[in-house]
């Protein structure tokens, strides 16, 4: 076994604190990665505090991982020692179901393995995430990192990036489309960057006027304050797509009304309670509400390559590992522009 140090929550009420544990020894297809940066996702808070239920303790969060390959297994073909590598939200799946065979491992019909607070394919071994100095992962679930991008800005691409890139690609959002990005946070700011790079006409919808300047800087053409009834009324029936990143309680029906005939609202944020939906708002304009979750390994690699081509990374604030609990409180208050990233050299 490989001794590792990290930070963990011991129960839903406990702050994250230093924690020592072990990674498995390398199997033939495994890669050992020295973690350089790990992004801080809002789902880390939900999981550490068991707000969604089912958390497994001790819990080491972190699924936006960038590092350098330290060792490789005897049969590894995709990586060599010294390569930059990344690990995202999942680290294994059944590989045999129809979803896996399509490269859609995130929709595995048997069992996909989350990077933390889950069980390996043996349904016994607990997974621990990237708030740690090293991780061991099968090469087939490790991403190759382009060398031309800012490493700390790459980390959030592994969750916030792919969570927004995947639905934009699936629904072929691009030139000639009007898309509203609902919420300008870790997910939303990446959605704006991607949608603008695809030549769509982007509008940011936010409750805070303080986000307006950033919305324009990130690539949005327009801004709507969703607390302003006059602005919402003017925007009714204007959008081909809405990408809804909100993970808090909000009025979904007022957003549905902004969609055109045949418009689609794509949900990527998970509110703590399911919103109440007026079906008549859908029927009257043949509107659709859809959902999307991260992306498969192939698509995540595609996204990283696209980011390298377009020089797209996340806007980040780098923190020391010891400041993670403070970062959580700031995230809850919305006090981050737009993603915290832990410098693991500070562990």
Average pLDDT for the chain: 96
pLDDT per position as a tens digit, 139-152? 999 999 999 999 99
SS3 state of residue 330: helix
Percent of the chain with pLDDT over 90: 95
In angstroms, the Cα distances linking 151 to 68, 123, 157, 308, 344 are: 11, 33, 10, 11, 12
Place of tokens 């936006």: 64
Token pair in block for residue 332: 């809850």
* Domains, the chain, ordered by start: 2-159+314-346 (3.90.180.10), 161-291 (3.40.50.720)
| Predicted pLDDT at 287 | 97
pLDDT per position as a tens digit, 79-137? 999 999 999 999 999 999 999 999 999 999 999 999 999 999 999 999 999 999 999 99
pLDDT class for 322, splitting at 50, 70, 90? very high
In this predicted structure, the answer to whether residue 15 has a pLDDT above a threshold of 90 is: yes
| Predicted pLDDT at 240 | 98
| Predicted pLDDT at 273 | 82
Short-list 248, 63, 93, CA closest to 157: 63
Token pair in block for residue 266: 């794509």
Taking a C-beta distance cutoff of 8 angstroms, is the pair 126, 41 a contact? no
| Predicted pLDDT at 165 | 98
Gyration radius from the chain CA atoms: 20
- Give per-residue burial for 29-44: e unless 16+ CB within 10 Å, then b: bbbbbebbbbbbbbbb
In this predicted structure, the answer to whether residue 248 has a pLDDT above a threshold of 90 is: no
Percent of the chain with pLDDT over 70: 100
In this predicted structure, the answer to whether residue 235 has a pLDDT above a threshold of 90 is: yes
| Predicted pLDDT at 272 | 78
In this predicted structure, the answer to whether residue 258 has a pLDDT above a threshold of 90 is: yes
3/260 Cα distance (integer angstroms) = 55
pLDDT per position as a tens digit, 293-303? 999 999 999 99
In this predicted structure, the answer to whether residue 274 has a pLDDT above a threshold of 90 is: no
Least confident of 36-45, 232-241, 267-276: 267-276
Taking a C-beta distance cutoff of 8 angstroms, is the pair 111, 303 a contact? no
């Amino acid at each position: 076994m490989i001794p590792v140090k990290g930070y963990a929550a011991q129960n839903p009420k406990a702050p994250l604190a230093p924690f020592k544990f072990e990674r498995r020894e390398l199997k033939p297809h495994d890669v050992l990665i020295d973690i350089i940066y790990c992004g801080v996702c809002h789902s880390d808070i939900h999981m550490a505090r068991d707000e969604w239920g089912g958390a497994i303790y001790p819990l080491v969060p972190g699924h936006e991982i960038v590092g350098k390959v330290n060792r490789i297994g005897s049969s590894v073909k995709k990586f060599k020692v010294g390569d930059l590598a990344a690990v995202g939200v999942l680290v294994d799946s059944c590989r045999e179901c129809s979803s896996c065979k399509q490269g859609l491992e995130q929709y595995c019909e048997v069992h996909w393995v989350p990077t933390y607070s889950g069980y390996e394919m043996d349904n016994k071994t607990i997974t621990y995430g990237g708030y740690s100095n090293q991780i061991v992962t099968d090469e087939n679930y490790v991403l190759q990192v382009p060398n031309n991008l800012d490493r700390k800005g790459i980390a959030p691409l592994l969750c916030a990036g792919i969570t927004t890139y995947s639905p934009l690609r699936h629904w072929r959002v691009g030139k000639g489309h009007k898309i509203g990005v609902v919420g300008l946070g870790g997910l939303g700011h990446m959605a704006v960057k991607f949608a603008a790079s695809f030549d769509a006409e982007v509008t940011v919808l936010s409750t805070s006027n303080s986000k307006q300047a950033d919305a324009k800087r990130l690539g949005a053409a327009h801004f709507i304050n969703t607390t302003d009834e006059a602005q919402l009324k003017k925007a009714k029936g204007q959008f081909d797509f809405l990408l809804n990143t909100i993970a808090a309680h909000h009025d979904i029906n007022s957003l549905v009304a902004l969609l055109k005939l045949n418009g689609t609202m794509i949900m990527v944020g998970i509110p703590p309670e399911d919103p109440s939906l007026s079906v008549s708002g859908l029927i009257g304009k043949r509107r659709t509400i859809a959902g999307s979750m991260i992306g498969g390994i192939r698509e995540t690699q595609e996204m990283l390559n696209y980011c390298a081509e377009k020089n797209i990374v996340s806007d980040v604030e780098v923190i020391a590992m010891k400041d993670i609990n403070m970062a959580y409180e700031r995230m809850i208050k919305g006090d981050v522009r737009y993603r915290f990233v832990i410098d693991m050299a500070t562990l």
